[in-house]
Amino acid sequence: MRSDTSQTIYRNDYTPPAYLVDTVELGFDLDPARTIVASRLTMRRNPDSERAEIELYGENLELVALRMNGKPLGKRDYRIDGNLLRIANPPQDVTLEIETITAPEKNTTLNGLYVSNGSFFTQCEAEGFRNITYFPDRPDVMAKFTVMLRADKQKYPVLLSNGNLIEEGELDDGRHFAKWEDPFKKPSYLFALVAAQLVCQEETFRLKDGRDALLQVWVEEGNLDKTDYAMQSLKNSIRWDEERFGLELDLDRFMIVAVGDFNMGAMENKGLNIFNTKFVLANPRVATDVDYAGIEAVVGHEYFHNWTGNRVTCRDWFQLSLKEGLTVFRDQEFSADMIGTASGRAVTRIEQVRTLRQAQFPEDAGPMAHPVRPDSFVEINNFYTVTVYEKGAEVVRMLQTLVGRDGFRKGMDLYFERHDGQAVTCDDFRNAMADANQRDLILFERWYSQAGTPIVKARTQYDADAKTYSITFTQSCPATPGQPKKLPFHIPIAVGLLGADGRDMPLGQDGANGSTAVLELTEETQTFNFTGVGEQPTPSILRDFSAPVVLEYDYTDLELLHLFSHDSDPVNRWEAGQRLAMQRLLRLTSAVASGGKLELDATFIDAMRKILTDDGLDPSFREQALLLPSETMMAEQMSVVNPQAINAARQFVRATIGTTLRTELMQQYLANMTPGEYSPDALSAGRRGLKNLALSYLAAAPDADAIELAQAQFDNAGNMTDRVAALIGLIHAGADSAAPALQAFYADFEKEALVVDKWFAMQAAAPATTVKAVRELMKHRAFTLKNPNRARSLIFSFCGANPAQFHAPDGSGYAFWAEQVIALDALNPQVASRLARSLDRWRRYAPALQGQMKKALQKVAGGKKLSNDVREVISKALAN
């Protein structure tokens, strides 16, 4: 909630800071109603700047005192202009002393210093530090921080900040203090403090260089039985970064703190990572396999930021993907390496592709489309997006594909050699990759500068006499806001050719490596020739999803079936199944809409049966291959979206699979039980995944036996994965037993906030849950808008995961959405702004729905005290 009006910031307007900060000493007298912050900054003129002015940002602060080189500054010595405090013509070297007051208990934004469940926490990325004190709050100002915390000892026994604890002791009036020093210079967005009633699991861990580091996971009392997996994941992360990238932990102490009120997943503050409880707390009773995987990924992600983000940080926020895209790539590789098997690695890759198609492609085709390195923004918090994170990770992955795994490591080494301790740009990263490998990566920059998902059309030609095969690629990219025309991208396309026997053919092509060639498409149209091709092949194009593009190729059903049965590349094997399913789902959607007959061909069912029963394949891969494209992905393929028809068509296919493959599903259900003690390892999780997918198809049929099976699984489940899967089966089947099961579930877990979130989310996403039912659930005593996890569990789940109900023809879903965006915005603009994006794709619906959506968008736009966050999203949605 800014006091100034919204203003667009442009990347090209970047200028270096006029003053640099060498040291920061912060003193906190923590009090929920009135926290006093004293700051002493030593500053000096930046030789790289011509400007002679100190610029400090501050928001929602009461300024008590300001002194420069010991002298109090009066109202005429500085200007406050919106959120900027300026001091003109200061001397070369300056010591500033600033005293401010803030009221953390009134801070519902969870940005800056705030109170959660009676304790103090901070969140400073991107621009939260300016809510704590006046400071040149921009990432290219890096300083050494020393922090003194003072607080009531009983209420806040634990006092934490970045770096090392150098002193602690008692004060008068029942207060105590702790002094922390961070030996590394850092930007203000990496500052953190915690003053809380917490307990920790701790351990010393031997680093590769022989040093011992103290590792701690801090949680509320009562949650110590849920910290093992986070701790294990942290140790695995440290080891992995040592081994894969030669990067070591640079501190003697590394802390993870879990907090229940948090806007995002977690935050990489130096030495003091602060996490949403969702990504820390787990035991088999309360957490699912998906939760466990999330914890491993996020713990890894935040830990890996210590090098990619903290030691080398961003020059400005337009470079956000420099740290986020690279760090997501690193956490993806970490998760894949933790599984270890080729098939497990492929499953993680498939999940990444699914996320891209489900969330990033729509973003790239909608009103908020932006390049991986955006050119402008109103509110930077709106640009922590799937494009910056997930597409950013794809861009890094393509670099690795182009220079090879060893070449990528060389590039990383050079990047740190050049830039350790600096705030740099995406170009600096790309240049390090290019220089370390003597590669020309000039064209590759377009992946950073151009928005939109490229479309690659492929045509093939086989010449039996000459035994040559050619593939011609033509690329294009749709216009996006502010970018009507695009230049060709540098696209690595991994290709293999399958013979009639299903085996890979050896490739006679330059750059071919065994049976897969990485072709580099750099022009609009290019033809690649293969020689010595003895028979008409089936092309396997874009293996391992080698680029984030849409591949258009006129595959016949026979070719797809061939690939689905045989492709040696598991990602394309899966992809062939998705294409087969999507074609049918879209045809059935039209049939539903036109009242036509609904039929599913035996060919498709047989292909599914073959995969389902192929015991030579990992259960987790079979689960992926049998999962249908989501309703959102189907919607993206239609020119006019009909949410109810999509839902009906998909339900029809699910029910048909449940009926026609009943025997096989039942067999697999029984064959993939995981008796004994729960373990979250990938193989066990994969078995549960396949078993529970089988259950969900059986329950979709729905037949009485399946419902009984689900009920039995619910009653006897030894872990949350099985319990939730069974409950969802009951709910989706509309079983009479669903309501009592939901009640029992709530009674068993009402003290576990994260499980109560699941309880709301399951109901919100159920096909029978109407807007009215959601409004009823909002009256439940456990519901509150103030906790982001809870708001997400009910409201976001409904608006995002229940399209057929959300898009109710009477517009009631949209009216509900508008109300909630406005209500949330008054509390927490960052969270409200995420919900505000639910109608991004409104122009793709039938005119009647469009009209209702526009009305709802305009209602929000007309809100009197709208945040910049929500205003940016809504005005972009409404713009032409």
Question: Which active-site residues does the annotation give?
Answer: 302
Residue 697 touches ligand TRP, criterion: CB under 6 A:
no
Of 139 and 284, which CB lies nearer to ligand TRP in the complex structure?
A: 139
H/E run at residue 673: none
CA 848 to chain centre: 33
The residue within the footprint of ligand TRP, chosen from 129, 145, 156, 384 (CB under 6 A), is 384
Which residue's CB atom is positioned nearest to ligand TRP?
264
Angstrom distance (rounded) from CA 876 to CA 382? 12
Residue identified by tokens 């949605």 is 877
Contact between 363 and 261 under an 8 Å Cβ cutoff? The reply is no
The residue within the footprint of ligand TRP, chosen from 115, 213, 267, 795 (CB under 6 A), is 267
Residue 324 touches ligand TRP, criterion: CB under 6 A:
yes
Of 265 and 863, which CB lies nearer to Zn ion in the complex structure?
A: 265
Q: Which does 102 bind (CB under 5 to 8 A by kind): ligand TRP, Zn ion, none?
A: none
Residue 268 touches ligand TRP, criterion: CB under 6 A:
yes
Of 100-108, 264-272, 461-469, 703-711, the segment contacting ligand TRP by CB under 6 A is 264-272
Q: Which does 125 bind (CB under 5 to 8 A by kind): Zn ion, ligand TRP, none?
A: ligand TRP
Of 374 and 570, which CB lies nearer to ligand TRP in the complex structure?
A: 374
For CA atoms 673, 678, 684, 685, give the dihedral sign. Answer: positive
Of 311 and 687, which CB lies nearer to ligand TRP in the complex structure?
A: 311
Instruction: Say how many residues make up the chain.
Output: 880
Contact between 418 and 432 under an 8 Å Cβ cutoff? The reply is yes
Footprint of Zn ion on residues 463-482 (CB under 5 A)?
none
Angstrom distance (rounded) from CA 125 to CA 264? 11
Beta strands in 6-135 (DSSP E): 9-10, 19-29, 35-45, 53-57, 62-68, 71-72, 79-81, 84-88, 93-102, 112-116, 119-123
Separation in Å, CA 16 to CA 12, 136, 594: 12, 11, 61
The residue within the footprint of ligand TRP, chosen from 302, 333, 618, 872 (CB under 6 A), is 302
Tally of CB atoms within 10 A around 715: 12
The residue within the footprint of ligand TRP, chosen from 301, 397, 622, 871 (CB under 6 A), is 301
Of 304 and 796, which CB lies nearer to Zn ion in the complex structure?
A: 304
Footprint of ligand TRP on residues 853-872 (CB under 6 A)?
none
146: left (phi over 0), alpha (psi -120 to 50) or beta: beta
Instruction: Characterize 734-759 residue by residue with b for buried, 16 or more Cβ atoms within 10 angstroms of its Cβ, and e for exposed.
Output: ebebbeebbeebeeebeebbbbbbbb
The residue within the footprint of ligand TRP, chosen from 18, 132, 247, 266 (CB under 6 A), is 266
Residue 631 touches ligand TRP, criterion: CB under 6 A:
no
Contact between 659 and 610 under an 8 Å Cβ cutoff? The reply is no
The CB-of-11 to ligand TRP minimum distance in angstroms stands at 19
The CB-of-226 to Zn ion minimum distance in angstroms stands at 23
Of 226 and 391, which CB lies nearer to Zn ion in the complex structure?
A: 391
Q: Which does 816 bind (CB under 5 to 8 A by kind): Zn ion, ligand TRP, none?
A: none
The CB-of-230 to ligand TRP minimum distance in angstroms stands at 15
Q: Which does 692 bind (CB under 5 to 8 A by kind): ligand TRP, Zn ion, none?
A: none
Angstrom distance (rounded) from CA 608 to CA 664? 10
Footprint of ligand TRP on residues 603-622 (CB under 6 A)?
none
Of 769 and 830, which CB lies nearer to ligand TRP in the complex structure?
A: 830
Of 98 and 388, which CB lies nearer to ligand TRP in the complex structure?
A: 388
Of 609 and 837, which CB lies nearer to ligand TRP in the complex structure?
A: 837
The CB-of-255 to Zn ion minimum distance in angstroms stands at 17
Residue 299 touches ligand TRP, criterion: CB under 6 A:
no
The CB-of-873 to ligand TRP minimum distance in angstroms stands at 16
Angstrom distance (rounded) from CA 419 to CA 415? 6
- The contact mask relative to ligand TRP for 106-125 (x = CB under 6 A, - = no) is -----------------x-x
Q: Which does 263 bind (CB under 5 to 8 A by kind): Zn ion, ligand TRP, none?
A: ligand TRP
Q: Which does 711 bind (CB under 5 to 8 A by kind): Zn ion, ligand TRP, none?
A: none
- The contact mask relative to Zn ion for 317-356 (x = CB under 5 A, - = no) is -------x--x-----------------------------
Tally of CB atoms within 10 A around 354: 17
Separation in Å, CA 460 to CA 277, 414, 577: 51, 40, 21
Of 328 and 804, which CB lies nearer to ligand TRP in the complex structure?
A: 328
The CB-of-265 to Zn ion minimum distance in angstroms stands at 8
The contacts of residue 346 (CB under 8 Å, 6+ apart) are 544, 570, 571, 574, 621
Structure tokens at 84: 């900027």
Contact between 701 and 658 under an 8 Å Cβ cutoff? The reply is yes
The CB-of-735 to ligand TRP minimum distance in angstroms stands at 39
Of 268 and 559, which CB lies nearer to Zn ion in the complex structure?
A: 268
DSSP string, 788-803: HHHHIIIIIHHHHH-H
The CB-of-322 to Zn ion minimum distance in angstroms stands at 11
Radius of gyration of the chain (CA): 28
The CB-of-324 to Zn ion minimum distance in angstroms stands at 5
SS3 340: coil
The residue within the footprint of ligand TRP, chosen from 30, 115, 264, 518 (CB under 6 A), is 264
The contacts of residue 708 (CB under 8 Å, 6+ apart) are none
Angstrom distance (rounded) from CA 680 to CA 287? 10
Q: Which does 446 bind (CB under 5 to 8 A by kind): Zn ion, ligand TRP, none?
A: none
The CB-of-16 to Zn ion minimum distance in angstroms stands at 25
Of 165, 271, 181, 252, which Cα lies nearest the Cα of 211?
Answer: 252
The CB-of-574 to ligand TRP minimum distance in angstroms stands at 28
The CB-of-753 to ligand TRP minimum distance in angstroms stands at 18
Total interface residues for Zn ion by CB under 5 A? 2
Structure tokens at 342: 């080729």
Contact between 227 and 201 under an 8 Å Cβ cutoff? The reply is yes
Residue identified by tokens 């293999």 is 496
Vertex 192 angle, CA 186 and 195, to 5°? 155
Of 179 and 330, which CB lies nearer to Zn ion in the complex structure?
A: 330
Of 35-43, 260-268, 280-288, 409-417, the segment contacting ligand TRP by CB under 6 A is 260-268
Contact between 373 and 11 under an 8 Å Cβ cutoff? The reply is yes
Contact between 270 and 190 under an 8 Å Cβ cutoff? The reply is yes
Of 263-271, 333-341, 398-406, 775-783, the segment contacting ligand TRP by CB under 6 A is 263-271
Angstrom distance (rounded) from CA 119 to CA 105? 9
Q: Which residues are at the interface with Zn ion (CB under 5 A)?
A: 324, 327
Binding residues vs ligand TRP (CB under 6 A): 123, 125-126, 263-264, 266-268, 301-302, 324, 384
